Chains A and B, each alone.
Chain A
Amino acid sequence: MKNEALIHDGTVSFKGVWKDFGGVPVLRGIDLDIASGEILALLGQSGSGKTTLLRCVNGLEVIQKGTIEVGGELIQDSAKGKNSLSSDIAQIRQSIGIVFQQFNLFPHMTVMENICVAQIKVLGRSEEIARDRARSLLDRVGLLEKAESRPLQLSGGQQQRVAIARTLAMDPRVLLLDEVTSSLDPQMTNDVLRVIGDVAKDGITLIVVTHEMGFARHVANRAVFMHEGVVAEDAPAKELFENPQNENTKKFLAAVLSHQ
């Protein structure tokens, strides 16, 4: 039971998702269907609810209205009352990777242990298999020589690449990336974006919140613009960037692009 994945594809479906914090609405009826393997750029001003939406997908936030399904499994269903989370939430989370802006590596473990701990304890892999997997992922993100370092001995960009490797080691079907380069300098940002561009070829569903518009435009095949807790525009990435329809999208893109 331990290493059985509940989820077998990477579809994500939001239906009428409503979320408020102490009465202040943050998500106000989100309807969004994401196909397996789709690469979706989630755009919007600060405070528009992007982070909250991502956190709802793996149940770090509980919604008050609507449903969220991943791979056909009902993650949250507000009809269930106060605790809308699936009772299999821990098992479902194995298949949903999330990478945070602040990396959140475990500081008391080496890089290798960070990548192995959940493989062994959650997926039930043997130590040997877990280490092999960790080594190949570290090689992929260009950090094989850091396997025995502690997270705090690494630069921010290196820590973020380890965090991505840690998540990929779980073989997620859906990967959520929340402004993963926002606290990094330009050089480190490029290193991390290169890794994500590479992961985008794997067929995992990617939901990427980013302010790197050039990156979003080239890697994403779909872009969603959120405004004040609703989906204001939803279009193929190329279209949304080149020919935005919504007034707020236009303003947002103009403001962001003038900064870059």
Chain B
Amino acid sequence: MDKMTWADLIDFLPTLLHGLAYSLGISAVVIVFSIIAGVCVAFMRVSRYRSVRGPVLAYVEFIRCTPALVQLYYIFYVLPIFGLTLEALTAGIVGFTIIYTAYLSEVFRAAINSVAKTQIEAAISLGMSNQQARRLVIIPQAARVALPPTVNYLLSLIKDTSLLSIITIQEIMFRGLILASQTFKYFTILTEVAFLYFCVCFPLTILARRLEAKFERELGYGKSNGEKKKNFFAVGPWGASKS
């Protein structure tokens, strides 16, 4: 095993940070695309038309039930056989957007469904159109319910971008592996890579937890209901799934 020294750590840092910037940049682009597409897919999932729900469900389930690694290989190595060649970075962004759109659409669908039907009734009883009820009442509440799990998905996306090393994208893992194969200092380098991931991801877990507590307090578990308040300190639907 190589001996970890400050000199080595500092030496490798610029290269790894450069890679980390790549990972974070890709993650940022992917999460933005995925949120936009995920909202659309989620509303399609709750559509009253089967012809809309069906294909969308098939897509979501297909993505959820096959590994990201296989999907990425597919886009990068198999699609070119059929004449669709994407440059590595594009392939990575497209691939992860397809994957995370599916994941996030599930989060958003659950969030939309968590808004009580009585909220919609209250809104339309005040004379709101369906579209106003959706915009002013459903989406703001669903967004609060969805935000903490979305942050958690961002966290797993950041970690998942390490998979992009296999399609030659120069993110942190790729650079770490190159450095390691040149210097054989696997212990030092992989420890440093892990530590850098941790420094980015750990604050996100705290953020997700804080947001969840804040919104639970605000919405009473996403439902406006006098009884819910009394149960506030009891175990709620989310509390139960955590333990």
- With A60-B121, A90-B124, A108-B218 as contacts: A102 and B226 at CB distance below 8 Å: yes
Contacts of A103 in B (CB 8 A): 224-226
Q: Which of B172-199 contact A (CB under 8 A)?
A: none
Contacts of B136 in A (CB 8 A): 117, 121
Contact of B119 among A58, A104, A167 (CB under 8 A): A104
Contacts of A117 in B (CB 8 A): 126, 136
- Whether the Cβ atoms of B141 and A107 lie closer than 8 Å is yes
B159 CB–A CB distance under 8 Å: no
Q: Which of B64-123 contact A (CB under 8 A)?
A: 116, 118-119, 121-123
Contact of B125 among A91, A93, A150, A152 (CB under 8 A): A93
Contacts of A106 in B (CB 8 A): 119, 122-123, 137, 141, 224
Interface size class of A (residues with CB under 8 A): 20 to 34
The binding surface of chain B is classed by DSSP as helix
B129 CB–A CB distance under 8 Å: yes
A164 CB–B CB distance under 8 Å: no
B207 CB–A CB distance under 8 Å: no
Identify the closest chain B residue to A122 (Cβ): B127
Q: Which of A148-204 contact B (CB under 8 A)?
A: 150-152, 156, 159, 166-167, 170, 183
Contact of A108 among B116, B122, B125, B144 (CB under 8 A): B144
B128 CB–A CB distance under 8 Å: yes
B140 CB–A CB distance under 8 Å: yes
- Whether the Cβ atoms of B128 and A121 lie closer than 8 Å is yes
Identify the closest chain A residue to B132 (Cβ): A121
Contacts of A91 in B (CB 8 A): 127
Q: When chains A and B are docked, how far (Å) is the Cα of A167 from the Cα of B137?
A: 16
Interface of A toward B, CB cutoff 8 Å: 58, 60, 90-91, 93-94, 96-98, 100, 102-108, 117-118, 121-123, 150-152, 156, 159, 166-167, 170, 183
